[in-house]
Chains A and B, each alone.
Chain A
Amino acid sequence: MTKTITIYTTTTCAYCEMVKKWLSSKGLTYTVVNMDEEAPEVRQRVIEMSGAMTVPVTVVEEVTENGQEPSYRDITVGWNPAKIGAAVRDMVAA
């Protein structure tokens, strides 16, 4: 299964920087969505997806085609390396 990592952040969020540093230290690439630069609909979507009004929100999910719902999606709210680590375990090079 191929997975992608997306981090929802804000410009001033220090915890978001920790997630980025941690993923980079594992050699993982990720997409950043800065909510300071996005439309209100994106913020609303993140709130609905995470159930929280806070960042970082880190989403690890299966890559799908043609808009299909991924069979795997893990959402981590906040800076929680143990949880993110479990979600990306199979993505880290041995």
Chain B
Amino acid sequence: MANVKETHDLVIVGAGPSALAAAVYTTREDLDTVLFEKGVIGGLAAITDWVDNYPGFIKGISGLDLAGQLQGQAERFGANIRLGEVSSIVDEGAVKRLETTEGTMWAKAVLIATGSDYKKLGIPGEQEFYGRGVHYCATCDGAFYRDKKLIVVGGGNSAVQEALFLLRFATHIDMLVRGEVKASEILQHELDKQVQAGKITVHLGITLNEIAGEDKKLTKVVATKDGETVEYPTDGVFVFVGLLPNTGFLKESEVKLDELGFVLTDKNLQTNMPGVFCSGDVRSGATMQIASAVGEGATAALKIREFLEMQERNHVTPTGELV
């Protein structure tokens, strides 16, 4: 008996806001939609303490709750979310072959919506103290620092937002910023209030050199300011210094990336591989906003529907033959 190919209308790589928004649209169009998530359903949004700028929530919403709502909505229409990983996408004409943790499967269309992850600092001590003093998730690990002193590295929206969250636990936070603070006005205002209250101290023009400790316990960050070596004693370090696209699985594929590793698309959000689309933070030119990612997910879903309808009109079979 011949092997039956597991073929879906659409496989979405990722299950963050963009992926889930796309799935809401495609499942409502009765497209058989499977999502693969190797990390957290909801992506970086799910590990964000509070989301204040996503439309529709007067008082804002916790990232975890927003992720839960997006997931529930997609699943209500039949989205099939699998906790696993896609390791490659190969163009076989009318279908794409995907290698996954569940084995080989095929899809008539693919949406890459793998989002991004926080960058590492790449300095000595970072790896040694990872999870034992160096952290990238405030909502996960902040509770271990009740009544402790912390350092937050970074000066963008995420760094300020997470520093404000960490004040639930920490007595004081030193923010180490390479250039200047570049957060939204409202976050900057909240930060200023905490600076005036003596809860946060912002240090600008800081280059980090090393994270150091004694007896396997992190004790300080060594940095350079104005050419001088400076030490900042601390109990823990939280790092939010920008984002890296989750495109490692595409390195060997034919899908084109830009010089920073983000996925290149045309105006229809289609990559150079016909039938493979991309939306959200992982797309070259993305604004790194949840609302934008969700909008792009919806747009991608509509373009995927058009693509599949065109394939159908051209009578292309899932095996790529014209009939």
Contacts and interface: CB of A to CB of B under 8 A. Distances in A.
A binds B: yes
Interface of A: 10, 12-18, 21-22, 25, 35-36, 40, 43, 47, 51-56, 77-79, 81
Contacts of B135: 53-54
A12 B131 contact: no
Contact of A43 (B83, B137, B143): B143
18 contacts: A10-B143, A12-B64, A12-B139, A14-B46, A14-B47, A14-B64, A16-B140, A18-B40, A22-B83, A35-B143, A43-B146, A52-B131, A53-B135, A53-B144, A54-B141, A55-B141, A79-B40, A81-B83
Interface residues of B, number: 27
Contacts of A35: 143
A46 B234 CA distance: 21
Given A18-B83, A21-B83, A36 B64 contact: no
A35 B141 CA distance: 10
B63 interface: yes
A82 to B, nearest CB: 9
A14 B131 contact: no
Contacts of B318: none
B318 to A, nearest CB: 29
B179 interface: no
Given A43-B143, A53-B131, A79-B39, A15 B137 contact: yes
B47 A53 contact: no
Tell which of B63, B135, B140 has the most Cβ of chain A within 10 Å.
B140
Interface of B: 39-42, 46-47, 49, 62-64, 67-68, 83, 131-133, 135, 137, 139-146, 236
Contacts of A40: 146
Contact of B41 (A18, A51, A53): A18
Contacts of A77: 131
Given A15-B47, A54-B135, A77-B131, A10 B140 contact: yes
A77 B131 CA distance: 9
Contacts of B131: 52-54, 77-78
A64 to B, nearest CB: 28
Nearest to A46: B144
B322 to A, nearest CB: 41
Nearest to A12: B139
Contacts of A36: 143
Contact of A12 (B40, B49, B133): B49
A53 B135 CA distance: 9
A17 B137 CA distance: 14
A17 B49 CA distance: 14
Given A12-B49, A14-B63, A15-B47, A55 B140 contact: yes
Closest 5 CB pairs of A and B: A14-B46, A12-B139, A53-B144, A52-B131, A10-B143
B37 to A, nearest CB: 8
B132 A12 contact: no
Nearest to A13: B140
A81 to B, nearest CB: 6
Nearest to A52: B131
Contacts of B68: 17
B141 A53 contact: yes
B143 A14 contact: no
A15 B145 CA distance: 19
Nearest to A17: B64
Given A47-B144, A79-B39, A52 B132 contact: yes
